[in-house]
Amino acid sequence: MFRKNKVLLMVILSVLFLSACGKDKESSSETASKFQSVNTFLVSEPKTLDPSMATDTYSTDILINIFEGLTRMSKDSSGEDVLEGAGALSWETSEDETVWTFKLRDHKWTDGIKVTAHDYVYGIGRSLDSATASPYAYLLFPIKNSREVNRGDLPLEDLGVRAVDDATLEITLEKRTPYFMELTYSALMFPERRDIVEKSGDLYGSTAEHIVSNGPFSLDLWEHEQKVSLKKNEGYWDKDSVNIDQINFYITRDENVRMSMLFKGEAQIGEASKKEWADKFLASGDFYEYPGYSAATNYLFFNGNEGIFKNKNIRKAFSLGIKRDEMADTVYRGLFDPAYALVSPGIHINGRDFRGVAGTKKPEDKTTGEAREYLIKGLQELGIDKTPEEINITYLNPSTSTWARTYSEYLAAMYKETLGVNITSEFLSWPLFEERVKNRDYDMGGMAWYADYNDPSSFLELFISESDVSPVSWDNSDYDDLLGTASHTDDPKERLKAFMAAEDLLLDEGWIAPTVYIKRRLFLADNIKGYSLTPFTSADFKNIYIEKNN
């Protein structure tokens, strides 16, 4: 979801991710201020607040707060990630785990109309409707007839989602899907109001006037490229658990501006990507840090539709030419870890960390000469009579910030050293970058992928043939079959084996080159309480509060 839920996401900049947790309600009510507002940040403008179309973290940071899916991700008393009922009061499944029945709680939209199972049917169906063209529709393909509906081969009425009555939702799957419940907090499965969508048309999800929601907050103000403000939803079913009256998300690309606002108390929550800022926050004594992996991986990707990246050996050269350890230590100041595989640490399978079981995939040390040899071999195979020093490549950078320019300068120097090639960069805002990548109008680019849920498929399904959000044009039936096996088998060992083989195949083909695993250095003002982090949801403010000063 990135969607969060997940979805595509920026290479260098990590946006704030929070998750609600339970707290001592009596204690918080005694210490909470009468009116509580929190200021935090978005690094870029949300592309849309249409739940079926959101693909970036900036959008889902807002959506998770204004909508209520069937479930929410939270943490239990031991700090483990758990699902808790949200729009769904309870649920049960058939013996073969292919039919799931959700009993909805009594809750309302922000305009006072009751939320019904029909709204969930409409929202899920709209996410899969071919007319919507949702980029993340493939995530819902475990649902019966979803592929056919998404292709336009079957009508929506044949989708395996139905309202048994106003308070009962039934979802039928093609096969048993071990991670299905992990999808139930995805924006793709949020309820949506047909009348609002149809009345708003193309404006749906673009302004406060064209959104009705059912979550703990409602959209109060959206000053494009400046600020998104949310206010407490007084009609929310669990409003007594919501202590924050207002949330202001300042859209601020300049990290120095963000960090200065945080340090001066003009904001209460922010993420530092520079060690000097992190050290300053810790030294002040006015903040506490919530570190950890973001379940996200930065990676480079290559356009094989045309140009030199059609050649596998050249793609391999560009992967081997990445100085990952140096990049992590120098460019990211030791905040991130070098990545030699796509699935990040923190993703579990069969109760174990997938990266720990599958290994780091770090190859034996390669010399600069060996990486360059692959490049020369590839050029010969393409019939290109040029030396590496005569090769010019443009890197598409999804940011216009100063930090992005620093990163691009490092990338150019690194590849000049390891391969001899000339790298220039083009800097774009995220929406323009996303459009260029979608149209395959680039040589090479970079971004980050954030997991939507705790399963290796949340990373690996990005590159299946039916994915509309893959940045590369790679269709491989063997890869699709491996992901299909992993998604439906009842055998834990077979599932692990299929995931490992799929990741190996993806890396061997070289369409992507992981660079670093993203860690958070998230800083909160010391009066922000009731906070807990899970890497699989966005900025969920439902249960945090501000401690009253004595």
- List domains and CATH numbers for the chain: 294-519 (3.10.105.10)
| Strands, E assignment, 28-98 | 37-42, 71-75, 81-85, 88-93
Pull the structure tokens for residue 121.
């049917």
**Are residues 45 and 253 in contact, defined by beta-carbon separation less than 8 angstroms?**
no
Mean of the per-residue pLDDT values for the chain? Answer: 89
The pTM of the full predicted model, rounded to 2 decimals, is 0.77
d(CA 40, CA 530): 16
Nearest to 450 by CA among 501, 518, 532, 361: 518
d(CA 90, CA 110): 23
Tens digit of each residue's pLDDT (9 = 90 or more) over 37-55: 999 999 989 999 999 999 8
- 41: β partners: 250
Model pLDDT, residue 130: 95
- 393: β partners: 423
Amino acid residing at 235: G
Report how far Cα 111 is from the mean position of its chain's Cα atoms.
Answer: 29
Nearest to 50 by CA among 208, 213, 229, 204: 204
Residue 368 binned pLDDT confidence (cut-offs 50, 70, 90): low
Tens digit of each residue's pLDDT (9 = 90 or more) over 246-283: 999 999 988 899 999 999 999 999 998 788 899 999 99
Residue 463 has pLDDT above 50, yes or no: yes
Residue 33 has pLDDT above 50, yes or no: no
Radius of gyration, CA atoms only, the chain = 23
Tens digit of each residue's pLDDT (9 = 90 or more) over 468-501: 889 999 999 999 999 999 888 878 899 999 999 9
Who contacts 505 (Cβ-Cβ below 8 Å, separation ≥6)? 476, 478, 479, 482
- Terminal alpha carbon distance of the chain: 40
What length is written for the chain? 550
Model pLDDT, residue 451: 86
Who contacts 456 (Cβ-Cβ below 8 Å, separation ≥6)? 343, 347, 349, 354, 486, 499, 503
φ/ψ region of 73 (left if φ > 0, alpha if ψ in -120 to 50, else beta) reads: beta
Pull the structure tokens for residue 524.
């909160």
Distances (CA, A) of 501 to 39, 93, 482: 44, 31, 7
d(CA 196, CA 218): 15
Q: Which residue has the higher pLDDT, 452 or 260?
A: 260
Pull the structure tokens for residue 443.
């040589």
Residue 550 binned pLDDT confidence (cut-offs 50, 70, 90): very low
Instruction: Tell me the mean pLDDT in the region 459-466.
Output: 92
φ/ψ region of 364 (left if φ > 0, alpha if ψ in -120 to 50, else beta) reads: beta
User: Any idea which of 149-163, 173-187, 225-239, 287-301 has the lowest mean pLDDT?
Assistant: 287-301
Model pLDDT, residue 11: 33
**Are residues 508 and 465 in contact, defined by beta-carbon separation less than 8 angstroms?**
no
